[in-house]
Amino acid sequence: MLLKTMVYKKRDLTTVKETATLAEALEILEDSGYRCVPILDENEKIFRGNIYKMHIYRHKANGGDMNLPVTHLLKNATKFIYVNSSFFKVFFTIKELPYIAVLNENNEFYGILTHSSLLNMLSQSWSVDQGSYVLTIASTGKQGDLAAISKIIAKYSSIASCITLDIGKDEFIRRTLITLPAKTDKVVCDKIISHLESKNFKVVELEDLTAAE
């Protein structure tokens, strides 16, 4: 996965050194407007974790010492990926985090990958801007189903993108989302649906991407 094109690099980020106090970290967070920033070592090479504004405020409200080092409230120390990590590693590591720290091959802090960057990448892979119709096709998930679906569609059109959902959720149902390329007309789309359903592949939803234009 080419993460480097999606990552906000260290030089462009607001960070806090591990030697900063909680009071200093809060000031940095307030000035930046971010709710969370990375904590780095003194040389700004090693990722220590994240500091959240809400945790500092909670500590302060409870009468906590604001001169304690920022590492006192450090979070997510083990939440990081590498620039060459796979998509699945990225997707399942970031989860509810606002961003995930990215390290280079030398285990040095490289930057962050945000939720919005990941969602933009998924949007592009869906080919929303270059598509015409999205077919949600239900199948049993048995071996050869995807190949059969692709073969049927290829008789009428090329495929702009393909995403399979529900893996592991239901043993008997898989949903495959096929995006047809731009300028595919409704007549061709209807022929594809008819052919798919004649082979027992149920098209459970059809989305017209051009309708929103």
Band of residue 78 on the pLDDT scale cut at 50, 70, 90: very high
**Closest by alpha carbon to 16, among 105, 109, 96?**
109
Please say whether the beta carbons of 190 and 132 come within 8 A.
no
The alpha carbons of the chain give a radius of gyration, in whole angstroms, of 23
Which structural domains are found in the chain, ordered by start?
Answer: 3-121 (3.10.580.10), 127-206 (3.30.70.260)
Confidence band, pLDDT 50/70/90 cuts, at residue 126: low
Structure token digits, residue 142 = 């048995």
Q: How confident is the model at residue 128 (pLDDT cuts 50, 70, 90)?
A: low
- Contact between residue 13 and residue 38 where contact means Cβ atoms under 8 Å apart: yes
- Residue 41 clears pLDDT 90, i.e. is over it: yes
pLDDT digits (tens, 9 = 90+) for 192-209: 999 999 999 999 999 988
- The string of DSSP letters for 99-131 reads EEEEE-TTS-EEEEEEHHHHHHHHHHHTTTTTE
Q: 81 by DSSP, 3-state: which? A: strand
CA-to-CA dists, residue 32 to 14, 20, 28, 73, angstroms: 7, 16, 6, 19
- Spell 108-137 as b/e; 16+ CB within 10 A means b: ebbbbbbeebbeebeeeebbbeebbbbbbb
- Compute, in degrees rounded to 10, the torsion defined by CA atoms 172, 178, 184, 187: 0
What is the distance between the alpha carbons of residues 101 and 109, in angstroms, rounded to a whole number?
7
pLDDT for position 147 = 95
